[in-house]
């Protein structure tokens, strides 16, 4: 499934010169169910497919999640989210100043365990699948640039597989379900 998702993303990128679209960067804030809030950075590219529908590829990185297991060990996590989805742009043909959109898709979460209570003998975390839903608004500032503001809902669960040296030999399930807010700028072609 991962290979199919990556092949679809690559195919979309290779057709980019023939399609209208946008490229952007954003700052992000994510609050999750079982871990602390985290700030991050992200970027996206999307391509117009017709009648307001766009395919989008996103990547975000968050380096400061903390979570505590059942025996009180603190784990620092770095999470990268790679998204592939579709959006519907409500104002694609209206030429209005405010351009709302909604969308969603699938996500691959790549998670790294940074440390556990200052102990470098770490457990492991496997990559996981999840999904997202997004709603936002685009505010054009020129013919080629726009500000964006959006809210996302993300869902994924993963398990920290502890070792008996640094994580008390306990496996911990972490629910990353939560909301993300993004503010950024887009270049449109």
Share of the chain above pLDDT 70, in %: 75
> What is the value of pTM for the model shown?
0.81
In a domain, 95, yes or no: yes
Range of the domain at 116: 2-12+25-188
- Does any domain span residue 17? no
Q: In what order do the strands lie in the sheet with 157-161?
A: 124-125, 157-161, 171-175
- Does the residue 19 lie in any domain? no
Domain-embedded: residue 98: yes
Q: For residue 149, what is the domain's CATH number?
A: 2.40.160.20
Compute the 3-state secondary structure of the chain and give helix, strand, coil in percent, each to the nearest 5. Answer: 10, 65, 25
Task: Give the total number of structural domains in the chain.
Answer: 1
* pLDDT > 90 fraction of the chain, expressed in percent and rounded: 49
Residue 173 within a domain? yes
pLDDT in tens, 163-180: 544 545 567 788 889 999
């Amino acid at each position: 499934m991962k290979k199919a998702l990556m092949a679809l993303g690559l195919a979309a990128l290779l057709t980019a010169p023939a399609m209208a679209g946008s490229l952007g960067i954003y700052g992000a804030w994510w609050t999750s169910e079982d871990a602390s809030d985290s700030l991050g950075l992200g970027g996206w590219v999307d391509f117009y497919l017709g009648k307001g529908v766009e395919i989008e590829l996103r990547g975000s990185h968050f380096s400061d999640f903390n979570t505590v297991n059942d025996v009180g060990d603190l784990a620092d996590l770095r999470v990268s989210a790679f998204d592939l989805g579709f959006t519907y742009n409500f104002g694609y043909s209206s030429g209005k100043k405010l351009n709302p959109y909604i969308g969603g898709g699938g996500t691959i979460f790549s998670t790294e365990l940074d440390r556990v209570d200052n102990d470098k003998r770490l457990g492991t975390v496997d990559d996981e699948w999840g999904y997202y839903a997004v709603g936002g608004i685009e505010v054009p500032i020129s013919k080629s640039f726009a500000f964006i503001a959006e809210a996302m809902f993300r869902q994924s669960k993963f398990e920290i597989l502890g070792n008996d040296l640094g994580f008390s030999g306990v496996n911990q399930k972490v629910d990353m379900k939560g909301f993300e807010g993004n503010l950024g700028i887009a270049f449109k072609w």
